[in-house]
Amino acid sequence: MDRGARLVFLGRLEDLAGMAELAVPTGPLEQVLAGLDRELAVALLDDRVRLALNGRLLAESGGIMLGAGDELAFLPPVSGG
Amino acid sequence: MILDVRLVPGAFDPAGELAAFAARVPAAGGVVSFLGKVRADSGVEALEIRHYEPMTLPGFAALAQTAARRWALEGLLLLHRVGEMGPDAPIVLVAAAARHRRDAFAATDFVMDHLKSESWLWKRERTAQGWRWIEPRAQDHADRARWT
């Protein structure tokens, strides 16, 4: 079965994207981002935005390859509990 | 050792939760609690807290376990609201039960300082000017640094 991947937008990024999540094709993250609205793509690549792949925080954002069923979350700075 | 860690999607009753928790820790000689609520005097009409299911609750559970390893506790309660709430609504309830009070005071303080600076939660508030996202406060990071 051919399944894609999913991007998840948290906090203000959800408002900017106009959606909580987006189904995307598998492949390199740069390629996926290139297909998005430019303003959103720039916000997602902000230094302060952390990334989590399938619920695990990533140490760096380079070289990410999205596979079938992967969920990549974009986490802007948290506001505190 | 009781660890009760929950995200709460609707209104909760802090007094009822605290009484139920205290009843589950018979060996405890004291229960210290902290209740955080929405300020009702700052023009805030609503507060919304968003979370990320795969990370927020596991993060709270790990924090509770860290506190339980660091102090001699009989139990730890950590409830946090998510969703939209109004002025005066309870947001967070943390309670630590211990044989001796100092462990309970310290664990509660520790959990709150870490919650404030590193929870996977995003908050926005609505005033007469509309919705506004809440930025991290430098003081929250300074409070957390007290424990390192």
Q: pLDDT digits over B84-140, tens only?
A: 999 999 999 999 999 999 999 999 999 999 998 789 999 999 999 999 999 877 777
How many structural domains compose chain B? 1
Q: Which domain holds residue B57?
A: 2-145
- In the structure, what pLDDT confidence band is assigned to residue A2 with cuts at 50, 70 and 90? low
The CA distance from A12 to the nearest CA of chain B, in Å, is: 7
pLDDT digits (tens, 9 = 90+) for A46-79: 999 999 999 999 988 788 999 999 999 999 999 8
Phi (first) and psi of residue A34, to 5 degrees? -65, -20
Handedness of CA B46, B83, B122, B21 (dihedral sign): positive
| Alpha carbon distance A47, A43 (integer Å) | 9
Q: Is B118 in contact with A78 (Cβ distance < 8 A)? A: yes
As to burial, measured by CB atoms within 10 angstroms (0-12 exposed, 13-18 middle, 19+ buried), residue B118 is: middle
Give the closest residue to B67 by CA, choosing from B35, B105, B101. B105
Closest Cβ opposite residue A77 in set B55, B80, B136: B136
Residue A44 pLDDT greater than 90, yes or no: yes
| Closest CA of chain B from A8, distance in Å | 9
Task: Give mean pLDDT, residues A19-30.
Answer: 95
Q: Which residues contact A80 (CB under 8 A, 6 or more apart)?
A: B115, B116, B117, B119, B121, B123, B134, B136, B137, B140
When CB atoms are compared, the residue of A52, A77, A81 closest to B135 is: A77
Mutate to test the interface with A, among B55, B79, B140 (most CBs of A within 10 A): B55
Structural domains of chain A, ranges and CATH numbers in brackets: 5-75 (3.10.20.30)
Please report, for the domain that includes residue B75, its CATH number.
Answer: 3.90.1170.40
Helix ranges, chain B (H): 14-23, 53-70, 101-118, 138-145
> From CA B90, how far away is CA A49, in angstroms rounded?
29
pLDDT attached to residue A48: 92
DSSP per position, B100-131 = SHHHHHHHHHHHHHHHHHH-SEEEEEEETTEE
CB-based contact (8 Å) between B81 and chain A? no
| Identity of the residue in A54, A57, A76 whose CB atom sits nearest the CB atom of B122 | A76
> Chain A residue with minimal CA distance to B132?
A12
Q: Are B5 and B60 in contact (CB under 8 A)?
A: yes
Predicted confidence at residue B66, as pLDDT, reads 97
Question: Residues of A with CB below 8 A from B115's CB?
Answer: 80-81
Distance from CA of A35 to the nearest CA of B (A): 24
Q: Which residues of A touch B136 (CB under 8 A)?
A: 77-80
Residues 6+ apart with CB under 8 A from B52: A8, A10, A52, A73, A75, B120
Residues of A in contact with B133 (CB under 8 A): 11-12, 79
- Considering only CA atoms, which of A62, A49, A68 is closest in space to residue B52? A49
Instruction: Report the distance separating Cα B54 and Cα B40, nearest Å.
Output: 32
Query: What's CA B133's distance to the chain center, in Å?
Result: 20
- Residue A31 to chain B, least CA–CA distance (Å): 25
- Contact between residue A81 and residue B37 where contact means Cβ atoms under 8 Å apart: no
Query: Rounded to two decimals, what is the model's pTM?
Result: 0.90
Which band of pLDDT confidence, cut at 50, 70 and 90, is reported for residue A1?
A: very low
Q: State the pairing for strand pair B90-98/A27-28.
A: unpaired
